Amino acid sequence: MQTQSSATDLTERQGRAWVPSLLVMTAMALLATLLFAASAQAIDKWPRSTVTFRDRSDWPAAVNLAVKWWNDAPGRLKLVRARPGQRAQIRIVSANIDSAGLAGLPPDGRVDLDRESLNAGEFRYQADVAAHEIGHAFGLPHIKSQCSLMYAEAETPADIPACNSTYPPGVVRCGPQREDVRAMNRRYGGGVGETFYGFRCASPGPGLPVGPLPINFPNPAPAP
Ligand SMILES: [Zn+2]
């Protein structure tokens, strides 16, 4: 979950009178070939569908929920705690960074959760950020759909009204959604099934109970 700087990038690009020369075009073609070769060669994933993790962050309850979401989602991937002394593949820690979270793709597996961001957010936000970064640590890239857990924006998808329009009042989407689980299963195997549309949470608000309790069940109907 990093703040996007695409607007700035666009301005900078438009500011230059950029005329592609033959040399530049040749270089770009070569670069594209190299990038394609690199991406075709390395699929970011762990070798097995059982992945070990260790959580040393300040938000163990939120990380527990994030792990439960991924383990409860349909598919083969399972997260298990590393044994004492064993090096965990995914290592979750608290950090002071510029975004809410940061994660290294396999075989890195380090997950940094930002103290300032997570301490300012409610429980479901903490769990959402943890689950998003764990998704990267599985090897998942960002997903364009704004209702996906793996959506790139720092804004939590649970707060986008269109993502919650089919839910009862006070219920918001959070945790992995169908597209996220499909991306995970493409790496680790398993189907998504006909009835899994993603997890959702209770959200505190006017007239609603305080303290968001996670509601871990699939949506009864497909989201539009
Ligand atoms: Zn991200």
Whether 223 maps to a domain, the answer reads no
Which pLDDT does position 209 carry in this prediction? 38
Tokens 């590393």 locate to 82
Question: Helix 60-72 vs helix 123-138: angle between axes, to the nearest 10 degrees?
Answer: 60
Whole-Å CA distances, 16 to 10, 12, 31, 46, 197: 10, 7, 21, 42, 45
Domain that holds residue 124: 50-215
Q: Are strands 101-103 and 110-114 parallel, antiparallel or unpaired?
A: antiparallel
Asked if the structure places residue 142 within a domain, the reply is yes
195 is a domain residue: yes
Three-state secondary structure call for residue 34: helix
User: What is the amino acid identity at position 216?
Assistant: N
99 — pLDDT class (breaks 50, 70, 90)? very high
- Average model confidence (pLDDT) for the chain? 77
pLDDT tens track for 142-175: 999 888 999 987 556 667 778 877 777 777 788 8
CA of 106 to the centre of ligand 1 (A): 14
Span from the CA of 146 to the centroid of ligand 1 (angstroms):
12
- What was the pLDDT predicted at 113? 98
18 lies in some domain: no
Q: What total of structural domains would you count in the chain?
A: 1
Give CA–CA dist 145/26, Å, rounded. 34
pLDDT at 1: 54
Instruction: Output the CA–CA distances (angstroms, integers) from residue 118 to 7, 14, 63, 121, 154, in the order listed.
Output: 26, 36, 12, 5, 12
* Span of 91-95, 153-157, 183-187 with lowest mean pLDDT: 153-157
Per-residue pLDDT tens over the stretch 67-83:
999 999 999 999 999 99
Strand partners, 84: none
Asked if the model's pLDDT at residue 118 lies above 60, the reply is yes
Q: What is the pLDDT of residue 218?
A: 46
Q: How far apart are CA 127 and CA 60, in angstroms?
A: 9
Q: Quick one: pLDDT at residue 224?
A: 43
pLDDT of residue 80: 98
Which residue is listed with tokens 């509601």?
A: 215
Q: Bigger pLDDT: 155 or 103?
A: 103
Residue 14 maps to a domain: no
Distance of CA 48 from the midpoint of ligand 1 (Å): 23
| Model confidence, pTM | 0.75
Ligand 1 ion: nearby residues, β-carbon < 5 Å: 1
Interatomic CA distance for residues 170 and 42, integer angstroms = 42
The CATH number linked to 169 is: 3.40.390.10
Domain contains 32? no
More confident: 207 or 21 = 21
Percent of the chain at pLDDT above 90?
A: 48
In a domain, 73, yes or no: yes
Q: Residue 9's pLDDT is what?
A: 30
Instruction: For residue 49, report the distance from its CA to the centre of ligand 1, in Å.
Output: 21
Cα–ligand 1 centroid distance for 20 (angstroms) = 32
Distances 198 to 65, 72, 82, 215 between C-alpha atoms, Å = 14, 10, 27, 11
